[in-house]
């Protein structure tokens, strides 16, 4: 392990763009597949999952992702998955994570909304006690399921309102799923005090990001890499300090970007647009948050202090209270000052 990799491994971190089911480790996916042997195309052998997760394009990724969602059959599956995702994040010294959760996908498969929310909250409490990690939730509309999914996601968010819920999102395919149609749902979620964090501008152009800003009141943009194609948009994001949630390996694996070397992160930095580094769906993309920090460090030619800056940016762009942010920022500074120990 290089010196910088060692620094990254021990660095206290926050993660702002990481998906609930998409974070299931091969061990957990295989265990769930074994429980439902013969009922799912998902392999029950962890070694076979790398080939299964070889995505041809973004549509293929969504298709495969939904087969994994199908493995989550009851509230105990939900609790186990959430707790194990927290374990893996904590192993990487993640102190705080805003986990993107899609309750509609599980409720429509037969898990009652109250049971689903109770399961993630039970796992959240267990993870805080056992691993020292704080989880918060972004309830995410699966865009491919249309307005009924938006209606149900909003209902669950407002009626169940689990303690960890901080934001309202929109994911799934962008092509053929216009952002403006979701405006009424985001308006109601924001009126109820939830932050707006839709995906936009990953597999479509800058217009999708403008729509997310103007119609959905986006406070952060999931991915948003297409912004580099519109200088006016880049200037707007920089002026208003609206962060992009960047996941380099994800963008390559879904074919949104041809290669890591061609990733637009350096252009985003040069334009003064704020950003955080995230892992998105790490096991499915064969990555970790640690590896994403290493990729960003390579793209931006960062030393240890620069990498610490990535961690601090995620903290300040999070929805943590200011006092809690400051504690984590102090922990990052203390770690950096003592490096190498």
b (16+ CB within 10 A) / e for 156-166? bbbebebebbb
Cα 155 from Cα 109, distance rounded (Å): 17
Rounded average pLDDT over 57-79: 87
Among the residue ranges 17-21, 41-45, 257-261, 263-267, the one predicted with the least confidence is: 41-45
Full-model pTM = 0.94
Look at the block and give the residue holding tokens 């052998």.
45
Q: Which of 281, 309, 307 is nearest to 295 (CA)?
A: 307
Q: What is the mean pLDDT of the chain?
A: 94
Q: What is the pLDDT of residue 238?
A: 98
Residue 211 reports pLDDT greater than 70: yes
Question: How would residue 329 be classed by pLDDT, with cut points 50, 70 and 90?
Answer: very high
For range 94-111, the mean pLDDT: 96
**Catalytic positions, written as ranges:** 202
Residues 6+ apart with CB under 8 A from 262: none
The C-alpha atoms of residue 194 and residue 218 are separated, in whole angstroms, by 11
Residue 16 has pLDDT above 80, yes or no: yes
pLDDT band at 341 (very low <50, low <70, confident <90, very high): low
Complete domains list, the chain, with CATH: 3-337 (3.20.20.140)
Q: What is the pLDDT of residues 227-267, one digit of tens each?
A: 999 999 999 999 999 999 999 999 998 899 999 999 999 99
């Amino acid at each position: 392990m290089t010196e910088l990799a060692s620094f990254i491994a021990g660095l206290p971190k926050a993660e702002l763009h990481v998906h609930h089911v998409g974070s299931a480790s091969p061990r957990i996916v295989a265990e769930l597949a074994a429980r439902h042997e013969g009922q799912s195309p998902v392999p029950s052998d962890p070694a076979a999952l790398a080939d299964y997760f070889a995505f041809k394009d973004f549509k293929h990724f969504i298709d495969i992702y939904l087969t994994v969602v199908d493995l989550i059959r009851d509230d105990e599956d939900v609790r186990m998955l959430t707790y194990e995702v927290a374990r893996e994040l904590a192993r990487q010294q993640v102190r705080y994570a805003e986990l993107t959760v899609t309750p509609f996908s599980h409720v429509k498969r037969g898990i009652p909304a109250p049971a689903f929310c109770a399961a993630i909250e039970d796992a959240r409490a267990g993870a805080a006690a056992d691993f020292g990690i704080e989880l918060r939730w972004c309830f995410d509309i699966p865009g491919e399921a249309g307005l009924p999914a938006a209606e149900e996601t909003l209902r669950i968010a407002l009626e169940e309102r689990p303690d960890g819920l901080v934001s309202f999102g929109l994911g799934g395919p962008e092509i053929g799923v216009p952002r403006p149609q979701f405006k009424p749902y985001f308006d109601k979620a924001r009126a109820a005090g939830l932050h707006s964090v839709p995906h936009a501008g990953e597999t479509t152009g800058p217009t999708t990001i403008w729509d997310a800003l103007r119609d959905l009141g986006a406070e952060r943009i999931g991915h948003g890499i297409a912004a580099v194609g519109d200088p006016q948009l880049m200037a707007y994001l920089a002026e208003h300090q609206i962060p992009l949630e960047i996941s380099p390996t994800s963008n390559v694996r879904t074919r949104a970007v041809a290669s890591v070397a061609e990733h637009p992160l350096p252009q985003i930095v040069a334009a003064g647009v704020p950003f955080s580094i995230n892992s998105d769906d790490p096991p499915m993309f064969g990555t970790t948050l640690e590896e994403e920090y290493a990729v960003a460090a390579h793209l931006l030619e960062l030393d240890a202090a620069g990498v610490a800056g990535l961690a601090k940016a995620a903290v300040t762009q999070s929805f943590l209270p200011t006092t809690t942010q400051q504690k984590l920022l102090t922990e990052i500074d203390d770690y950096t000052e003592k490096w190498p120990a």
